[in-house]
């Protein structure tokens, strides 16, 4: 195992990962954030350098952590040789097996290999698989002429909005998610629509892997074009900063899939896999 903390080498790694799209997108997004101030206190672990076969991004060990916070305790994985990834899994100091955490990646063997090692350590593994998407270049600000109803005010989220986002997110509704969302809002780009009273109507945020997520419009404001406006504006904001505009969507989320198709988003050939790993000590907790 090698922790890569040289700024020059991290920039080289960023360029190397770009040549491995789309499978490397999650790690690439995390490395981009590391190279731009590292607001989420991440670090990079490799099997070797410069001819690496597996690379993992994780929370810095000195960073404050909550053992129940699988949102923040998140690892992104990319490998050229799955055997190298398994070797990193089996090393004692790469993953923190005593906490609830998640592993993300875009490669098909990720689940089976991770589960095999996790089971040997008596951890439960919950898999959720998504379609992965990438937005084409958004060259101009979205046209608001398609909007129905009163003109919205397009702006960004504040940390004070975190409670509503926590309550409306299918993955949320708990203390750890509330804190995580507040940190995402504070650290990364977001876009929202507010009504004439300043109340939230529609929004989307960016996560620690530079992925667009939690795109949501309040039920009473749907079918007015707000989701389209928010998605295009956030994609353009990310692209203007040099980030890929990537996202994920569940297979049964037909409304979002229809929206993405109308925006000409590219559905990638690989799937996004999110694994939540829970030690027996914490099994049975409701938000896990």
Within the chain, all domains assigned CATH 3.40.630.30 are found at 2-131+272-282, 136-264
d(CA 16, CA 148): 44
State mean pLDDT over 267-288.
Answer: 86
Which of 35-44, 184-193, 258-267, 276-285 shows the lowest per-residue confidence on average (mean pLDDT)? Answer: 276-285
Looking at residue 171, its pLDDT comes to 87
Looking at residue 285, its pLDDT comes to 63
Three-class DSSP category at 71 = coil
Looking at residue 154, its pLDDT comes to 87
**Residue 239 pLDDT > 70:** yes
State mean pLDDT over 43-63.
Answer: 96
Contacts of 279 (CB under 8 A, 6+ apart): 97, 98, 99, 100, 121, 122, 123
Pair 214, 71: CB distance under 8 Å: no
Looking at residue 152, its pLDDT comes to 75
Which of 49-53, 65-69, 270-274 shows the lowest per-residue confidence on average (mean pLDDT)? Answer: 65-69
Which one is the CATH code of 136-264: 3.40.630.30, 3.40.50.2300, 3.40.800.20, 3.40.50.300? 3.40.630.30
State mean pLDDT over 154-171.
Answer: 94
Looking at residue 96, its pLDDT comes to 95
Contacts of 72 (CB under 8 A, 6+ apart): 40, 59, 65, 66, 176, 179, 180, 183, 208
d(CA 202, CA 227): 7
Residue 148 pLDDT level (bands cut at 50, 70, 90): low
Looking at residue 197, its pLDDT comes to 87
Looking at residue 11, its pLDDT comes to 98
Looking at residue 225, its pLDDT comes to 87
> What percent of the chain lies above the pLDDT cut of 90?
83
Residue 147 pLDDT level (bands cut at 50, 70, 90): low
Looking at residue 10, its pLDDT comes to 98
Looking at residue 217, its pLDDT comes to 96
**Residue 287 pLDDT > 90:** no
Q: What angle do CA 230, 234, 236 make, to 5 degrees?
A: 120
Contacts of 270 (CB under 8 A, 6+ apart): 22, 23, 106, 107, 108, 132
Looking at residue 30, its pLDDT comes to 98
Q: 28: closest CA among 134, 100, 138? A: 134
Q: What does the mean pLDDT of the chain come to?
A: 93
Residue 94 pLDDT level (bands cut at 50, 70, 90): very high
Higher pLDDT, 61 or 14: 14
State mean pLDDT over 116-136.
Answer: 95
> What percent of the chain lies above the pLDDT cut of 70?
94
State mean pLDDT over 141-168.
Answer: 83
What CATH class has 2-131+272-282? alpha beta
Using N-to-C axis directions, what is the helix angle for 25-34 and 7-18, rounded to 10°?
Answer: 150
């Amino acid at each position: 195992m090698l922790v890569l903390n040289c700024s020059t080498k991290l920039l080289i790694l960023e360029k190397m990962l770009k040549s491995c799209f789309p499978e490397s997108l999650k790690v690439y997004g995390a490395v981009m954030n590391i190279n731009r101030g590292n607001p989420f206190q991440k670090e990079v672990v490799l099997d070797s350098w410069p001819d690496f076969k597996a690379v993992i991004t994780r929370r810095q060990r000195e960073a404050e952590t909550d053992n129940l916070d699988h949102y923040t305790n998140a690892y992104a994985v990319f490998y050229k040789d799955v055997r190298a990834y398994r070797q990193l899994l089996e090393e004692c100091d790469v993953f923190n097996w005593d906490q609830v955490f998640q592993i993300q990646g875009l490669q098909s063997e990720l689940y089976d290999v991770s589960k095999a090692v996790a089971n040997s350590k008596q951890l439960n593994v919950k898999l959720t698989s998504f379609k992965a998407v990438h937005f084409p270049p958004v060259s101009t600000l979205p046209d608001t002429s398609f909007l129905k109803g009163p003109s919205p005010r397009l702006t960004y989220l504040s940390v004070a909005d975190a409670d509503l986002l926590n309550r409306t997110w299918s993955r949320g509704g708990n203390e750890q998610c509330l804190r995580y969302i507040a940190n995402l809002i504070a650290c990364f780009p977001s876009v929202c629509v507010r009504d004439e009273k300043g109340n939230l109507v529609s929004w989307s945020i960016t996560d620690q892997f530079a992925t667009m997520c939690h795109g949501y419009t309040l039920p009473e404001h749907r079918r007015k074009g707000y989701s389209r406006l928010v998605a295009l504006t956030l994609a353009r904001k990310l692209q203007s900063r040099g980030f890929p505009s990537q996202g994920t969507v569940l297979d049964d989320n037909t409304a979002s899939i229809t929206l993405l198709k109308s925006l000409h988003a590219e559905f990638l050939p690989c799937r996004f896999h999110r694994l939540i790993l829970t030690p027996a000590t914490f099994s049975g907790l409701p938000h896990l």
